[in-house]
């Protein structure tokens, strides 16, 4: 299977200096390595040409964020499997074989994620993906190994291969045929949760999404947009609502959206209590943007399939904050 590892870059020379060597060294003879550049203004492209001549470069005309950046770049890459890798990912030896073997033996598997551990504390799972993602009934994302801000220690409890609902965009494997069948990422997202939307659409098309825990990568996290940044709060809350509109089954659409808006209100109050008013205003801004885009996304849903089996747990917010269940294994 022809595999392309594609790193999206925007003014990321320092990250490329640190992490590109591991990608190149541990992917030899198994994949071609590409850097998709989002119209950088630093000298990262010249750095690649000087130090990594084997790495192929696709230069996008504008910085369209994660979604458009990959949509534009992948049009120019010929491969059976795309591996989309953040520029702040360190990979490990023999990381590709378990994933490529899964694709070879499971024809219906369209998307795969490896185990994602924290680069800064390598015994811990990392926020963005951990051991595979799910969403609850109200669209809030969570992971095996990571519940909201609680990160589990990796004690080999997730060294399995498991069906999941979404794979992390930090290290995201997808069959090229599936990517193009789904028309790629929704560019209205710009960044954050576009991979959840893509996975949801893949699920509704009948494809399996897998976590393969025998492949490990380490993720810095927040290298391009810090976790404490209100812009990240804005994008996460807005994009999650938009995904619900696009992909929820019709019978659940309006009850779930209404409940979710109320829950977001409580989240805004909590930010105020925690003396983080900028995040409260980010949620308010996200809701106004959601209302502005509502008709557009209702039209999008008319072109998609929707199925009922989208969630594993009812409300992880209730279980986490009220019942005190901090681990995936504790959820009911």
Domain boundary among 87, 105, 131: 87
Q: Are residues 214 and 83 in the same domain?
A: no
The total domain count for the chain is: 2
Residue-wise DSSP of 209-221: EEEEEEEEEEE--
CA distance 219 to 119: 5
Predicted local distance difference test score (pLDDT) of residue 162: 97
CA triple 158-117-176, angle to 5 deg: 85
Q: Are residues 194 and 311 in the same domain?
A: yes
Q: Are residues 291 and 268 in the same domain?
A: yes
Predicted local distance difference test score (pLDDT) of residue 300: 94
Domain boundary among 87, 116, 138: 87
DSSP summary character for residue 228: T
Q: Are residues 190 and 326 in the same domain?
A: yes
Predicted local distance difference test score (pLDDT) of residue 308: 79
Domain that residue 313 falls in: 94-332
Predicted local distance difference test score (pLDDT) of residue 225: 44
Mean pLDDT of residues grouped by 10 in the chain (332 residues)? Answer: 96 96 93 97 96 96 93 97 97 96 98 97 95 96 94 97 97 98 94 94 96 97 62 93 94 94 94 94 97 95 87 93 94 92
Predicted local distance difference test score (pLDDT) of residue 220: 93
Q: Are residues 211 and 183 in the same domain?
A: yes
Question: Residue holding tokens 């747990």?
Answer: 313
Decide if 209 contacts 165 (C-beta within 8 A): yes
Q: pTM of this prediction?
A: 0.93
CA distance 260 to 198: 20
Decide if 200 contacts 247 (C-beta within 8 A): yes
Q: Are residues 118 and 202 in the same domain?
A: yes
Tokens found for residue 162: 């498991």
Q: Are residues 181 and 277 in the same domain?
A: yes
CA distance 75 to 162: 30
């Amino acid at each position: 299977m022809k595999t392309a590892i594609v790193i999206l870059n925007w003014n990321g020379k320092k990250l490329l200096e640190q992490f590109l060597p591991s990608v190149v060294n541990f992917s030899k003879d198994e994949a071609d390595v590409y850097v998709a550049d989002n119209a950088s203004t630093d000298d990262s492209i010249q750095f690649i040409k000087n130090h990594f001549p084997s790495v192929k470069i696709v230069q996008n005309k504008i910085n369209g964020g994660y979604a458009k950046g990959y949509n534009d770049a992948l049009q120019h890459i010929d491969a059976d499997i795309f591996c989309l890798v953040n520029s702040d990912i360190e990979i490990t030896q023999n990381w590709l074989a378990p994933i490529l073997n899964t694709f070879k033996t499971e024809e219906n598997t369209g998307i795969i994620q490896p185990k994602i551990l924290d680069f800064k504390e390598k015994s811990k799972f990392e926020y963005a993906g951990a051991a595979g993602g799910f969403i609850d009934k109200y669209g809030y994302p969570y992971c095996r190994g990571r519940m909201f801000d609680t990160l589990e220690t990796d004690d080999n409890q997730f060294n399995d291969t498991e069906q999941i609902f979404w794979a992390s965009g930090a290290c995201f494997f997808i069959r090229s045929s599936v990517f193009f069948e789904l028309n790629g990422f929704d560019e209205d997202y710009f960044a954050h949760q576009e991979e959840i939307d893509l996975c949801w659409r893949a699920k509704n098309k009948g494809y399996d999404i897998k976590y393969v825990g025998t492949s490990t990568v380490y993720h810095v996290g927040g290298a391009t947009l810090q976790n404490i940044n209100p812009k990240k709060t804005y994008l996460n809350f807005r994009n999650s609502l938009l995904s619900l509109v696009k992909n929820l089954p019709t019978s659940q659409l309006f009850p779930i959206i209404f409940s979710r808006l109320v829950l977001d209100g409580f989240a805004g109050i909590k930010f105020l209590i925690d003396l983080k008013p900028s995040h409260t205003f980010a949620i308010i801004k996200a809701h106004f943007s959601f209302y502005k885009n509502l008709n557009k996304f209702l039209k999008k849903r008319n072109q998609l399939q929707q199925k009922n089996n989208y969630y594993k747990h009812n409300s992880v917010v209730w279980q986490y904050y009220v019942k005190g269940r901090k681990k995936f294994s504790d959820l009911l």
